[in-house]
Amino acid sequence: MFTQPHMDPEAEAKHPLLAHVDAGRLPQLPEQPCSYLPGRIARKRAFLAEAMDGELYHDLMDRGFRRSGDFFYAMDCEGCRACVPLRVPVATFTPSKSQRRVLRRNPDVTLQAQRPQCTDDVWALYQRYLAFQHPGSAQASEPRSALESFLYANVVDSVELRYSVGDRLVAVSLVDVCSRSVSAVYHFYDPDERDRSLGVFSVLAEIDWAKQLGIPHYYLGYWVEGAETMHYKANYRPHEQLRDGVWRAV
């Protein structure tokens, strides 16, 4: 169910949207089949915003919100709280043995942070990724403009992280950034380089990048116990889970 965590009065005065959210006045969307757990029904509270300050979005994430393009939502499922926001405190994070092996496997990968740009090499990489990861899906047949509106529209303060081997682009991450958090939005990679475990490598690199910038938390979105595609998020430890409006160490 949609919870109403305690709100800082200063935040309320600064951002009326938070008062609106905490009062439970957001519209509730129709129910639909759950994307993560078979046989479950999902429901969201949501709104659209063409642009939002990164600090305000952080406050929304601390209320269980995520975004997809200009669509901001929180899960509000009857009798179910399986979608649990998860974040990593970058100062205390320690990679596991298997994660350290991934780091040793990728000494030649370089990271470049820049303003998001849907360039030709990004589009080509994205198409190869979808053909491998989601063959035959509607997403795989969408035009370039769909990627631009989904990931490259200037909605929140976002950064594009480009991973390269030499002059060859092998992976891209889009992240939302503010003074308090780096939030993972989307990641795609070259299927020919899948033995590198670039998805794991990118999370490790981005946690380190946040640490270098003095940003305290790396947000991984929802973790769903029992959902196979979400299991990996709990492997980054220590981490914190948002339960009943409070971040709790795990």
Question: Can you give the pLDDT at residue 15?
Answer: 82
Q: How high does pLDDT run on average in the chain?
A: 93
Tell me: the pLDDT tens digits for 30-53? 999 999 999 999 999 999 999 999
Cα–Cα distance for residue pair 35/42, rounded to 1 Å: 8
Contact between residue 33 and residue 43 where contact means Cβ atoms under 8 Å apart: no
pLDDT band at residue 78 under the 50/70/90 scheme: very high
Angle at 8 between CA 16 and CA 80, to 5 degrees: 85
pLDDT band at residue 11 under the 50/70/90 scheme: very low
Asked whether residue 80 carries a pLDDT value surpassing 80, the answer given is yes
Instruction: Quote the percentage of the chain above a pLDDT of 70.
Output: 94
**Structure tokens belonging to residue 216:** 């305290």
CB atoms within 10 A of CB 32: 10
Cα–Cα distance for residue pair 84/139, rounded to 1 Å: 26
Contact between residue 182 and residue 215 where contact means Cβ atoms under 8 Å apart: yes
Cα–Cα distance for residue pair 246/240, rounded to 1 Å: 9
Report CA 62 to chain centroid distance, whole Å. 13
pLDDT band at residue 13 under the 50/70/90 scheme: low
Tell me: the pLDDT tens digits for 146-200? 999 999 998 999 999 999 999 999 999 999 999 999 999 999 999 999 999 999 9
Tell me the backbone φ, ψ of residue 242, rounded to 5 degrees: -90, 110
Question: Can you give the pLDDT at residue 119?
Answer: 97
For residues 134 and 212, the model is more confident at: 212
CB atoms within 10 A of CB 9: 9
Asked whether residue 3 carries a pLDDT value surpassing 90, the answer given is no
Tell me: the pLDDT tens digits for 94-115? 999 999 999 999 999 999 999 9
Strands 168-177 and 66-68: unpaired
Cα–Cα distance for residue pair 136/48, rounded to 1 Å: 29
Tell me: the pLDDT tens digits for 115-132? 999 999 999 999 999 999
Q: How far is CA 149 from CA 182, 189, 224, in A?
A: 21, 19, 27
**Closest to 121 (Cα-Cα) out of 133, 129, 132, 113:** 129
CATH code for the structural domain at 97-177+184-201: 3.40.630.30
Classified as helix, coil or strand, 195 is: helix
Summarize the confidence of residues 78-83 as an average pLDDT. Answer: 94
Interhelix angle 144-151/120-133, nearest 10 degrees = 100
